[in-house]
Amino acid sequence: MTVVEARARGLLAALRSGRPDGETLFETVAEEVFRRHGRQWKLSTLLRNRHYLNKHIQPRFAGLRIADITPQEVRDWFAAMHATPVSADRSMPVLSVIMTVAETDGLRPEGSNQCKGIRRYRRQTRDRFLSEPEIARLDRALSGTSPAVALIRLLALMGCRKSKIVRLKRCEVDGNRLRLEDSKTGLRIVYLSSEACEIIERCMISPGEYLFPSPRFPERQVSGHFGLWYRVRRYIGIEDIRLNDLRHSYTRQYVIAGVPLPVVSKLLGHSQCAMTLRYAHAADRDVEAAAERIGARIAKLVQIGED
């Protein structure tokens, strides 16, 4: 779409609302944004963005003329959400897209996106990984062949997101790999270890579309809430570990083994290596051990030089 075409669309949107360009309301532009971009977003992204628009953005800006919204109003809105920093940080990109489209359509001056330059809330990150003894305890505690046990084992063995395993379909299993169609980065190929293959082969016996069907409604996927996980982690004393931390622990084991970061990134289904770095943090004890090794090596080199 050229700039001229985009501005023509903006003018049409203004005409539909019965207002001239300078009178176009915020919600008119917001709906135009979702009409244009909604087809490009995944359904989960569309629903999430719509949620933040309806709950956090519209209550503050609906009824205002898009041309009159000031940087101070945006800063005040963002500051008022300090009690819910996650919602604030996820609402800001949605508002930014709306403001960018308003500029493109000629409803605001170019370079007037007030969302630019506003610093997001800094949230404390959790560097929590399963240690090797904890992995061993978890393995011993996950006995049996129930679907919940299989799900948790696959999460630990594959580094996939929980939603991908819960929604896994039989048609996505292709020998020793998975072909995940509904992935953030498009089609994603996940290669399976022999242990993961064994678990999936046992699950393939049950009929139906989903590999893990709901016990009550076989045509649906199993619920994402695993009561077994909470019982197991309490039993082995790792109650601060979340299911998603299994994905982090999976990543850490590859990093410790010296697997190149681009390979780990591909295993996790990340489009950029920078995303993988968020999950590849080293634990404090690993950093301490590395410092000891380097210190001993340098001391040895200095001793050789003195000799």
Longest dimension (CA), the chain: 88
Instruction: Report CA Rg, the chain.
Output: 25
147-176 pLDDT, tens digit each: 888 989 998 888 888 888 888 898 999 988
pLDDT of residue 57: 95
| DSSP E strand stretches across the chain | 173-174, 177-180, 188-191
Is the per-residue pLDDT at 301 higher than 80? no
HEC string of 152-217? HHHHHHHCCCHHHHHCCEHHHEECCEEEECCCCCCCEEEECCHHHHHHHHHHCCCCCCECCECCCC
Percent of the chain residues past pLDDT 70, beyond the cut? 81
Residues 3-104, CATH architecture:
Orthogonal Bundle (1.10)
Query: Residue 88: which pLDDT band, with cuts at 50, 70 and 90?
Result: very high
Asked if the domains at 3-104 and 132-281 fall in one CATH topology, the answer is: no
Would you kindly state where each structural domain of the chain is located, as residue ranges? 3-104, 132-281
Q: Please check the confidence at residue 72 and state whether its pLDDT lies above 70.
A: yes
Task: Determine the average pLDDT of the residues in 262-272.
Answer: 75
Indicate the average pLDDT of the chain: 81
Residues 6 or more apart whose CB falls under 8 angstroms from that of 14 comprise 20, 21, 23, 24, 28, 107
What phi, psi does 272 have (nearest 5°)? -135, 145
Residue with tokens 């001793």: 303
Distance CA 289, CA 168 (A): 39
Looking at domain 132-281, its CATH superfamily turns out to be Intergrase catalytic core (1.10.443.10)
The whole-model pTM stands at: 0.59
Least confident range of 102-106, 238-242, 264-268, 281-285 = 281-285
Q: Binning pLDDT at 50, 70 and 90, where does residue 4 land?
A: very low
- Would you say residue 200 has pLDDT above 60? yes
- pLDDT for 291 beyond 80: no
